[in-house]
Structure 1
Amino acid sequence: MKLLARIGSTVKLQLDWIITVALAVGVSILGLVDGVSTKTVLTTTLLVLGVFAVGWMRDRVAADQLRKDLKNLPQAVHNALTGNQLLNQARVIGLSAVYPNAIDKNWLPEIEAAREVRIVKLKLNLTENPDYLQALCAVLRRGGKVTVVMGDPRAPAIWLRYKEEPHGLPGERNTETAWINGLAELAVEVARLESWRQKLLLVAAHPNQVYIGLSTAYPTHAYYCFDSTTYVYHYAYMARGYYSPMFVFDEHTAQHSLVAQGCAALIGDSITLSSKVAADIARKLAAGAFADARVNSSTITVTHKSSGAKGI
């Protein structure tokens, strides 16, 4: 802001030239008026010439300063936009960046630089790319840890949320983000994740380096955690998470801790993926248990634990 004020002040100095020209015109008029002595005219002329000389020198310096200020203006604007005054509140809560969404985000650079990777979300969307498996294997080879948790397609909480979504109802399939047969897709993803789990365990020096789980709760946020940096975005109710803004937290603040606790809670409440669990999900998938028609026609019963009744 000081730089802009100085530029404005430099430009305003040009008004002095108008005044100087007015004085010069005044001297000319004095020379034409009878009764004004030659000495007076000469003295006034010398004063005007002096003003011209001083003004020229001053404006030469001012012009150089103006060019310098204009050259530095882009950097000054950048510093102002990224300075503490505008980002102070973001830094207070540990927020370092905001992305419009996570669509097509390449996570490989973050994985390749991390010693601990935790990914917790509803649908993984990574297992089709072998580069991610190789990057996670590299994390294990350098002594790091890998945790991956996704939604369990058998979980009542996920069935209930899916049934409530517009894309989970007949006749509501034409939206851009429609998730047709979404629970069946989860089941297919589980099968690929089980294959990942077995390959990761072969690379790990110790089984504790790897945890692959299934969330029985509906995760309202997706978490990508790389060491102390956490990317998080929200699954909006009655809509997909495609266009949710993604926030990056990388500071140890109370707010960052809250985000980390949410991620840790989902991991802690998840069930461990195993060959037995994967086989059960595969059987249900083959029997059509996760098809939209089956899911949408189902009923969910809330029962007391003491009765031993199942939810679905």
Structure 2
Amino acid sequence: MNARRRLQALLALAMLPLAGTVAAQQEFPIPNKPIRIVVGFPAGGGTDLQARLVGQHLSQVLNVPVVIENKPGAGTMLAAMEVQKAVPDGHTLLYTPSSTLAMLPHSLAAVKYDTFKDFTPVSLGALGPLVLVLHKSIPAANVRELVAWAKANPGKINYVSQGVGTSAHLYGEIFARQAGIDMVHVPYKGANDVAKDFISGRVHLQFASSSAAVALAKTGEVRMIGVVAGKRSPLFSDLPTMGEQGVSGVDIESWVGYFGPAGMPPATVRKLNDAIGQVLKMPKLQEDYRQGGAEAKPSTPEEFARIVRGTYDEWAQTLQKIGYAKQ
């Protein structure tokens, strides 16, 4: 390579960060450029359906196409890393549960992102507690009866998760320790296999998302017996919390929200937040969410940032208390 070509190559490399900055500073939304909402689950699940419901209306509000991109794997980390490296122009968003950015950094050594340095909170999207669901083959109608049966039958109950270090795994670990029972952890790689084996009775217990719990309960093979929350959820007003049933420490509430990559212009964040808020306040959408076991819940970016920080700190304290080491 002669000197002139070498200089041209160096100049081109130097311009790459500037190109990203220019793109991020363009007025949002960029005409005809789609907004990608990245979801770390396969199509058809509760989180995916919520994103698709919002996407349909968001496209109309902002007058640009909105596409949902499913990127399952690594307990939602793949989706987070996809958004982490995106241009911060508002056209790439992550829609993800609290576990991705508030819990996994404390539970898994493989996490390669920083919750507060690599992402921009845009808006809360939905609330929905985790629900303790139990296969009907276990003769227990509530948590107290489950604990009594498990103590009388040590090691005969297994609980399922979508991988080591995920929320279902950690809540199972905390529950077993707090209740003084012996359960076997069975990690899976995919939600579809979890549901199939749960319904068949191959696995017995799971701390499931509210939307997954509703779907499982509709099969008639699984019953909901407790919610993970500090107080009863309006979605399941007749279902007692774990604390009400004598098991403390299983009460960190779950949410799902919208994030962009770090460095998004404040005006872009505000415009996205306003548009998402408009959509989440639509009565029909709110009813669709409720039918799926979730509560549509917008917020300001500032409120959402405080929620993220609070949940992140709660998980740090809880895992420290039980002596959990990163896997």
TM above 0.5: no
The structure that is helix-richer by fraction is: 1
Higher relative contact order (CA 8 A, sep 6+): 2
Q: TM-score range by the shorter chain?
A: under 0.3
The structure that is strand-richer by fraction is: 2
Larger C-alpha radius of gyration, 1 or 2? 1
TM-score (normalised: structure 2)? 0.26
TM-score (normalised: structure 1)? 0.27
